[in-house]
Chains A and B, each alone.
Chain A
């Protein structure tokens, strides 16, 4: 370059300053945002405000009750004032986040001619049957028929009869005379109807037990703890396995018609429960499966006995051989039928009072049941071994069905005195028992889904660098929508829809929570973060900073010289 020395130097100086400035500008304007964007984790939008709303749960459960006055319970003047409708609200605050409100809508009316005819039947069971044919009670509601004290439908000491569908027969008390005013009559009936409701619909203890996922309450009484420990948690599906244990195939050749028995006895119950969960059934036979305990021979009874202490140790040795369906993660209910070997027959289970248990069966909470079936009565000592034996499936399935009801939480609590509950129908499940189960399952599902969603939102908030994919955001949004719908349906009293929405909510929330991509392996302590970024950025930033400082100090010096020149 041909140029005067001073001009070249100044030109170069200017060029150097421009270069440093432009590099700094590029780094700040383009580099920093680019680095920020590329090291950002993708987090899809979550409806956080709605989730926070859900963490504060206000549940309202509505039940419809229809109270029908039969002839002889109300005077003709009172009959004109009835029909009327009353609504009652009961509020409970479970803890600071959860509040419950029970709404009972009671409609009073008088019986129609056809209902009067039905109530004229000789026994309560027949009256119940004919009342069914008259009207179909929707899911979640009840009909209570008030019958006069003189009625012969119910035995002497029984005041309430609970039918197999959704009806109850209530005998009006002796204290109330028919001539009294309607208000007194209704006031007398109210607590008794509430008692009936607590048995047939939902009671506060049931609902608070169902909320146990949200609220860790101090346990109430021993029965409620045992109930909550025994019943399986709400799950979209269950697997039921029936196993026949034959430790002595040389003596006994056992035949059991399990397919037919399941089809006839168990399937109706499961079909009725189809709205609650899916069930899959399988069966197997295990040979040479021994008990883990030695039964004691009781010479006074001429039989072998098992004490209640040894029962606890029976399950473990067998469990290893039971197997399960490897493909599903649903809870498994095992029902074992044990036929004792010829040397140890007959085998009886004794309870703690050393008395023989009539069912000869026991069950383990959240696992299943075992029944001991003695076959020594079917053949004499001169029989040719192996003996062909057919198992009486009705008796066996009766016990298994009772155990199944207990384990699924269908079993009703002990009814108060003066109540007579109709025996189980052919399906093994009364309609009101199904309603009870649906109430507690809906509440349980809603409680579990809300805790899952809120804890997921908390987790994703806390850990800033977990990637939230679109499918997770979708599942969370659909869970939130389903939850809001479920709560609304519970308020409106549509039990079936509430259960359906609550199941959808639980499925979506579990799928979102347990998504494999949400693994938090991204814990970076601060010193590690510095160790990564300093070698990358420091060598680049130091020259830029120094040159910028040099530019600033040069400019300041020039200004000072100019000032000096002026002066």
Chain B
């Protein structure tokens, strides 16, 4: 009896193991991607938009922790909160009011900073139409087997997202950019997360296949911020991203949570706004898409079974030491700046400008008062 029980246990264990191996082999083929990219954008500047930078940095931190290397992350921050003059704790960006989690860390690598974060640069990164002088770290070098995560945060409205307080990107432009990415096969699957007011309007116009979108609020709703910190003096995070970060902290590279869990993050009771998602363009079932398919970078590996039999000895690479000595060039310093001339320069002749608006206004006032008191008939004597 006992032996029978043990045998059956062993049999089930073995079959479970083989199923596991099959499953793992199946994983290789189910998602169809071989590398992961992330484009994380914070679009607002000024100190009171601290929370948007903290949002983006918390997603950056999760994505790095789950395995995506810096070379595959394009991080765009419109303003520098860590080194802002008003930051009472310099070189830190906190996400929780007790200053528990410093999302800035020691090795953050910002690719587009400050005024480089514009609608034009964002669209150039997505479509790949960058000038040839752009370095590798500022490019999105994805191919047809890349899963891309795109995270946008800032101030938005119905159908647009505000960049840098002076320009906007509309949902039509974003949808067209994704279509161009699809045409050139620049992604395998794309996850789009947006945390702004009326965020759901930004994914309404998507029409390219294999896109999944999440937003923090529906059209007509505002996304609210989480808590202010009294020492720093501003709100630290937005609600949706705060709960998203909490959810992601529980994910590790081998985790099997899927997208349906992600949709449940921040229900209305916690978020006050209603998060929305869109999966009709996504070809797979969202339940079969793992969180680590987008947020992490789990590599597929294959054991190398073959080897090439090499029998030739190594040729000696000839060293030309003599020639090297002869080719040594003599180096010299570049001409130094003529500092003394600059210091003792005479002041430049300033060009004449017409009088300023204030002066003009003042003279107009004087003239008006004069003619009011002394009457219009004197006008023809003046002119």
Report which A residues bind B (CB closer than 8 A). 212-213, 219, 222, 225-226, 229-230, 233, 257, 259-261, 263-265, 308-309, 311-313, 315-316, 319-320, 324-329, 331, 349, 351-352, 357-359, 361-367, 369, 371, 393-394, 397-399, 401-403, 405-406, 411, 423-424, 426, 428, 451-452, 455, 459, 513-516, 518-521, 523, 525
Does the CB pair B32–A260 fall under 8 Å? no
Does the CB pair B303–A459 fall under 8 Å? no
Minimum CB–CB distance from B234 to chain A (whole Å) comes to: 32
Task: Check B123 for interface membership: any CB of A closer than 8 A.
Answer: yes
Give the distance in Å from the alpha carbon of A362 to the alpha carbon of B180 in the complex: 36
Does the CB pair A233–B143 fall under 8 Å? yes
- Give 19 A-B pairs besides A229-B34, A260-B315, A326-B137 with Cβ atoms closer than 8 angstroms: A225-B29, A225-B32, A229-B32, A233-B144, A257-B314, A264-B312, A329-B136, A359-B304, A359-B307, A364-B301, A366-B35, A401-B308, A402-B304, A426-B312, A451-B183, A455-B180, A513-B184, A518-B129, A521-B173
Task: Check B21 for interface membership: any CB of A closer than 8 A.
Answer: yes
Task: Check B172 for interface membership: any CB of A closer than 8 A.
Answer: yes
Does the CB pair A516–B21 fall under 8 Å? no
Give the distance in Å from the alpha carbon of A329 to the alpha carbon of B132 in the complex: 10
Report B-chain residues with C-beta under 8 Å of the C-beta of A365.
34, 145, 300, 302
Report B-chain residues with C-beta under 8 Å of the C-beta of A319.
69, 71
Does the CB pair A516–B131 fall under 8 Å? yes
Report A-chain residues with C-beta under 8 Å of the C-beta of B184.
452, 455, 513
Report A-chain residues with C-beta under 8 Å of the C-beta of B311.
394
Interface residues of B in 283-307 (CB under 8 A from A): 297-307
Task: Check B269 for interface membership: any CB of A closer than 8 A.
Answer: no
- Please, which residue of chain B has its CB at the minimum distance from the CB of A350? B303
Task: Check B139 for interface membership: any CB of A closer than 8 A.
Answer: yes
Task: Check B222 for interface membership: any CB of A closer than 8 A.
Answer: no
Does the CB pair A264–B315 fall under 8 Å? yes
Report A-chain residues with C-beta under 8 Å of the C-beta of B379.
none
- Please, which residue of chain B has its CB at the minimum distance from the CB of A515? B129
> Which residue of A264, A309, A311 is within 8 Å of B314 (Cβ)?
A264
Report A-chain residues with C-beta under 8 Å of the C-beta of B21.
352
> Which residue of B71, B297, B314 is within 8 Å of A324 (Cβ)?
B71
Report B-chain residues with C-beta under 8 Å of the C-beta of A260.
314-317
Minimum CB–CB distance from B284 to chain A (whole Å) comes to: 13
Give the distance in Å from the alpha carbon of A175 to the alpha carbon of B16 in the complex: 49
Report B-chain residues with C-beta under 8 Å of the C-beta of A233.
143-144
Task: Check B80 for interface membership: any CB of A closer than 8 A.
Answer: no
Task: Report B238-264 CB contacts with A as 1/0, cut-off 8 Å.
Answer: 000000000000000110000000000
Minimum CB–CB distance from A260 to chain B (whole Å) comes to: 4
Interface residues of B in 326-343 (CB under 8 A from A): none
Task: Report B114-127 CB contacts with A as 1/0, cut-off 8 Å.
Answer: 00000110011001
- Please, which residue of chain B has its CB at the minimum distance from the CB of A353? B21
- Please, which residue of chain B has its CB at the minimum distance from the CB of A429? B308
A-B contact pairs, 21 of them (CB 8 A): A213-B185, A222-B29, A225-B29, A226-B29, A233-B143, A312-B299, A316-B68, A358-B307, A364-B299, A364-B301, A366-B35, A366-B145, A367-B299, A394-B312, A398-B307, A398-B308, A399-B304, A402-B304, A402-B307, A424-B309, A519-B129
> Which residue of B28, B35, B180 is within 8 Å of A367 (Cβ)?
B35
Task: Check B111 for interface membership: any CB of A closer than 8 A.
Answer: no
Give the distance in Å from the alpha carbon of A329 to the alpha carbon of B142 in the complex: 11
Give the distance in Å from the alpha carbon of A319 to the alpha carbon of B36 in the complex: 13
Q: Which of A331, A352, A397 has the most CB of B within 10 A?
A: A352
Give the distance in Å from the alpha carbon of A451 to the alpha carbon of B186 in the complex: 13
- Please, which residue of chain B has its CB at the minimum distance from the CB of A317? B67
Report B-chain residues with C-beta under 8 Å of the C-beta of A261.
314
Given contacts A264-B312, A394-B311, is CB(A519)–CB(B124) below 8 Å? yes
Minimum CB–CB distance from B111 to chain A (whole Å) comes to: 12
Task: Check B221 for interface membership: any CB of A closer than 8 A.
Answer: no
> Which residue of B145, B180, B308 is within 8 Å of A402 (Cβ)?
B308
Majority DSSP secondary structure for residues of B touching A: loop
Task: Check B6 for interface membership: any CB of A closer than 8 A.
Answer: no
Given contacts A259-B317, A320-B70, is CB(A516)–CB(B300) below 8 Å? no
Give the distance in Å from the alpha carbon of A398 to the alpha carbon of B315 in the complex: 16
Task: Check B170 for interface membership: any CB of A closer than 8 A.
Answer: yes
Task: Check B364 for interface membership: any CB of A closer than 8 A.
Answer: no
- Please, which residue of chain A has its CB at the minimum distance from the CB of B298? A312
Give the distance in Å from the alpha carbon of A395 to the alpha carbon of B215 in the complex: 53
Does the CB pair A523–B28 fall under 8 Å? no
Interface residues of B in 10-45 (CB under 8 A from A): 21, 24, 28-29, 32, 34-35
Give the distance in Å from the alpha carbon of A288 to the alpha carbon of B172 in the complex: 49
Give the distance in Å from the alpha carbon of A372 to the alpha carbon of B135 in the complex: 33
Does the CB pair B145–A520 fall under 8 Å? no
Given contacts A328-B136, A364-B299, is CB(A514)–CB(B129) below 8 Å? yes
Report A-chain residues with C-beta under 8 Å of the C-beta of B120.
519, 521
Task: Check B128 for interface membership: any CB of A closer than 8 A.
Answer: yes
Give the distance in Å from the alpha carbon of A455 to the alpha carbon of B302 in the complex: 35
Does the CB pair B309–A359 fall under 8 Å? no
Give the distance in Å from the alpha carbon of A257 to the alpha carbon of B253 in the complex: 37
Task: Check B130 for interface membership: any CB of A closer than 8 A.
Answer: yes
Does the CB pair A309–B310 fall under 8 Å? no
Give the distance in Å from the alpha carbon of A520 to the alpha carbon of B32 in the complex: 31
Give the distance in Å from the alpha carbon of A316 to the alpha carbon of B21 in the complex: 22
Task: Check B150 for interface membership: any CB of A closer than 8 A.
Answer: no
Task: Check B176 for interface membership: any CB of A closer than 8 A.
Answer: yes
Give the distance in Å from the alpha carbon of A236 to the alpha carbon of B293 in the complex: 29
Task: Check B110 for interface membership: any CB of A closer than 8 A.
Answer: no
- Please, which residue of chain B has its CB at the minimum distance from the CB of A213? B185
> Which residue of B297, B300, B306 is within 8 Å of A229 (Cβ)?
B300
Give the distance in Å from the alpha carbon of A192 to the alpha carbon of B309 in the complex: 30
Interface residues of B in 96-121 (CB under 8 A from A): 119-120
Give the distance in Å from the alpha carbon of A331 to the alpha carbon of B136 in the complex: 11
- Please, which residue of chain B has its CB at the minimum distance from the CB of A365? B34
Does the CB pair A398–B185 fall under 8 Å? no
Q: Which of B124, B130, B307, B313 has the most CB of A within 10 A?
A: B307
Give the distance in Å from the alpha carbon of A455 to the alpha carbon of B299 in the complex: 32
Task: Check B219 for interface membership: any CB of A closer than 8 A.
Answer: no
> Which residue of A308, A406, A520 is within 8 Å of B173 (Cβ)?
A520
